[in-house]
Structure 1
Amino acid sequence: MGGKGGGRGLGRGFASLWSAAAVSALGDGIVAAAAPLLVTSLTRDPVLVGLAVFVQQVPWLLLAPVSGVLVDRVDRRRLAVAANAARAALTAVLALAVYADTVSLPLVYAVGLLLGGCAALGDNASAALLPAVVGSADLPRANSRMFGAESVLNRLCGPPLGAALFGVAAGLPLTVDALSFTGAAALLSTLRLLPRAGTPTPAPAEREPMRRQFAASVRWLWAQPALRTLTLALCLMNVTLVAGFSVMVLYAREHLGLSEFGYGVLLTASAVGGLAGALVAPRLQARFSASLLLRVGLVLETLTHLGLALAGSPWVAGAVLGLFGVHGAIWIGVDRTLVQRAVPDGLRGRVNSVFMALAVGGSALGALIGGPLARAFGLTGPFWFSAAVMTVLTAFAWRPFGRRIDTAPPAPATAPVPATAVPTAT
């Protein structure tokens, strides 16, 4: 997954897309460790620490209707370039405030909110570009390479480097992240797509109000039993995951007794597992059904929270996070492939925005409740809560994650769907 190019054998278009993702992944990995350390240098309140995670998720909920429609209406490449350029500027502003010793929690929250808005637009556009540069048969391999780059650069190399850079100068990790967004924007600007891939073919429906178009994509998604089940399960899984991980910096430093650099190293444990998972994911997807892999994933996610709740040493916590990394890479490979194969190109941006709004909405809720749970029940409280919720979810999702999730054909983009259909349950 390294310097030889993640796009080898998948075409120049994928190589450019992979390179842009790799550059920004390293910068984000650096900030993934540095940003919580910056927040905890300003406050030790678990609620305020969790709020810094929450504000980055809110824009996905607010912008979901606009984001999906825009991605299906405009040039996706240009939208991704603009979003990365804006993220570079915002991160640079925060870095300058740190250097000038004028940084504050309100500023951190404000920049986080705006960065979340850019991510809601840019990440949606980038996700919609992948099926445009890679054929359906190559999607498992392409997703594996994208996740491999994320595991190595974002989760393995980035966090310890970010913690080390933070020790040198608190604004240095933010500076590197701003440069990474600049590099990603430059690489995406070189991406060449077919006209229909870069700018969706205009259709009469695009003259409809955004609200109506977004509602149509919700109804289309709700009509797909496999995708509906997957989306709602992922939403709840993100609630449980982020409830604990929103206070991970406090869990690592106060419960496990780790230093700033030790916290960064702990975060790499899941990356090591993620790299292993990314390497085996295509083979597992070829050999086993998506149903089996998803069911095993539910069990492993439940055990992750239980293990972290019981862990009393960094070694045990690291081992649990490593296993979680393997599971996460395989789950994402199955998840992305099912969605990319099922959604028609003309609906890809809108459906992906619905999918991501629910997924990130779950993350936002998890970040909102993680701090209060930690304050009320201690730093292991969010993990006990998550283990209990995941046990219930596993029991309810076991049957829906049957063999039909592999074989159920998607409805056409124009399939009539009852107007009253809204996502309420699995």
Structure 2
Amino acid sequence: MHASMSARLGADFSKLWTASAVSNIGDGITMAAGPLLVASLTADPALVAGAAFAQQLPWLLFALVSGAYVDRLDRRKLIVAVNLLRGLVLGALAVSVATGTTGIPVIYLAFFLLGVGETLADTASAALLPAIVPPERLASANARLMATFTLVNQFLAKPLGAGLFAVSAALPFGVDAVSFAVAAALVATVRPVPAQPYERVPGGLRAEIVAGVRWLWGHRLMRTLALSMGLANVVFCAAFAVFVLYARRQLGLFEIGYGVLLTTFGVGGLVGTGVAVRLQARFGAVALLRAGLLVEAGTHATLAATTEPLVAAAVLVVFGVHTMVWGVIAATLRQRVVPSGLLGRVGSVNALFDVGGAAVGSLLGGLLAGAWTITTPYWVAAVVVAAIAVAAWRPLAQADAI
């Protein structure tokens, strides 16, 4: 089955997909080992959380700039160069850990540089995909990439990262460095594609970024998708920033139960990537996008109301399916409708909405739960997403025409 899928998507996609799988293994390993490394040096929760923030911060600072450079430069070569540089950063971190010379500032710097590279490589990969996959196969390609991320990064790599750290604190970072080198070598074998049409705008980089923002804002469907995802991400992250406390106080679950509940997202995500293309063929993009907003509002309301772990687990599986189906459709629509020379900049605006929403939501969730009850963020999320569904209902009707 995988062989026939690869044949339909092409040899170059297979190389890009394999590179993504390899680098996702490394990413997941580092995501698990990074907090363990910081925790081995300090017991301060703020410092431990700071490592994750250091890797997210570049998305807030550089997402739009990175998008402009993705449109200016050869995307294939950019991915190769960035992966090699990320490998060097991780190799240096591994040496620092192995020699006992690392410290919190060194770790933060390494994670910040990895985040900067991520803004470039992730944006470039999404923009490169339409150049190597036929338009009618984009949904299948996006679904396969998302399925690989869910399986490899969320399920397999994180336990592996913790296990490698137990063997040697430096080992997971060394393995991740090798993964980036391998990914770079794979992408380097992708056939060069014609340079994307790119018109420099008078006024330099800032004007080029503004051109991308204006294009997105002027396209009703793309604007609706970006705003819907961004606002929904604010309230989603507000609710799930206190998820560990919700599981304990509302559902009566502790460490093991909480861990099992977390896996329901991944289970639903895997199912979602497997059925996204077939569901779109059967029901159309409009129906699925609209239904997804209703599912999201219903998920938050159900979690706020229930005290039954099995009910919460079931609704989270459905929510996981929705997130992947929505993600596949939104990414495919963007790749089909946005001009090639603007894909990097428009994609970076979407990423800024997503990450910015996550950052704002994470802060908001703690404030809401602290001021009222642990379920308040979930009730607020249900109301906000319902309002998003009402506002987005008519603009989403354009999706089936693309």
Give the structure-2-normalised TM-score: 0.85
Does residue 258 of structure 1 match 2:252? no
Pick aligned residue for 2:223 from 228, 239, 243: 228
Question: 2:86 — aligned with what?
Answer: 87
Does the C-alpha gap of structure 1 residues 324 and 33 become closer, same or farther in structure 2, counting only changes over 3 Å?
farther
Cα distance in 2, alignment partners of residues 168 and 389 from structure 1: 46
How far does residue 330 in structure 1 lie from its aligned partner after superposition?
0.4
Does the C-alpha gap of structure 1 residues 331 and 232 become closer, same or farther in structure 2, counting only changes over 3 Å?
same
Does the C-alpha gap of structure 1 residues 35 and 327 become closer, same or farther in structure 2, counting only changes over 3 Å?
farther
Q: Is the 8 A contact 1:54 1:367 kept in 2?
A: no
Cα distance in 2, alignment partners of residues 355 and 383 from structure 1: 24
Does residue 336 of structure 1 match 2:331? yes
Q: Which amino acid aligns with 2:399?
A: I
Instruction: Map Cα deviations across residues 110-164 of structure 1 (whole Å, 9 max, x no partner).
Output: 3332222111111111111100001111111111111121122122322333344
Report the secondary structure of 1:7's partner residue: helix
Question: 1:67 — aligned with what?
Answer: 66
Cα distance in 1, alignment partners of residues 29 and 183 from structure 2: 15
Cα distance in 2, alignment partners of residues 280 and 399 from structure 1: 25
Q: Which amino acid aligns with 2:72?
A: R
Question: 2:140 — aligned with what?
Answer: 141
How far does residue 380 in structure 1 lie from its aligned partner after superposition?
5.8
Report the secondary structure of 1:9's partner residue: helix
Cα distance in 1, alignment partners of residues 14 and 400 from structure 2: 29
Instruction: Map Cα deviations across residues 312-370 of structure 1 (whole Å, 9 max, x no partner).
Output: 67655544432222111101111011101101112212222222222222223234444
Q: Is the 8 A contact 1:124 1:349 kept in 2?
A: yes
Report the secondary structure of 2:7's partner residue: coil
Alignment of 1:32-47 (within 5 A): 32-38=31-37, 42-43=42-43, 45=45
Q: Which amino acid aligns with 1:110?
A: L
Count of matched residue pairs: 399
Question: 2:234 — aligned with what?
Answer: 239
Question: 2:204 — aligned with what?
Answer: 209
Does the C-alpha gap of structure 1 residues 23 and 135 become closer, same or farther in structure 2, counting only changes over 3 Å?
same
Determine what percentage of the aligned residue pairs are the same residue.
48
How far does residue 383 in structure 1 lie from its aligned partner after superposition?
4.3
Question: 1:422 — aligned with what?
Answer: none
Alignment of 1:6-45 (within 5 A): 7-38=6-37, 42-43=42-43, 45=45
Q: Is the 8 A contact 2:304 2:376 kept in 1?
A: yes
Q: Is the 8 A contact 1:37 1:249 kept in 2?
A: no
How far does residue 24 in structure 1 lie from its aligned partner after superposition?
1.3
Cα distance in 2, alignment partners of residues 343 and 80 from structure 1: 21
**Range moving further from structure 2, 347-356 or 36-45:** 36-45
Cα distance in 2, alignment partners of residues 380 and 103 from structure 1: 40
**Range moving further from structure 2, 128-137 or 312-321:** 312-321
Alignment of 1:5-404 (within 5 A): 7-38=6-37, 42-43=42-43, 45=45, 51-99=50-98, 105-194=104-193, 196=194, 199-201=195-197, 203=199, 205=200, 209-246=204-241, 256-258=253-255, 266-309=261-304, 317-373=312-368, 382-401=377-396, 403-404=397-398
Q: Which amino acid aligns with 1:175?
A: G
**Range moving further from structure 2, 372-381 or 356-365:** 372-381
Report the secondary structure of 1:8's partner residue: helix
How far does residue 231 in structure 1 lie from its aligned partner after superposition?
0.5
Q: Is the 8 A contact 1:24 1:180 kept in 2?
A: yes
Relative to its length, the structure with more helix (as a share) is 2
How far does residue 283 in structure 1 lie from its aligned partner after superposition?
0.9
Cα distance in 1, alignment partners of residues 381 and 30 from structure 2: 25
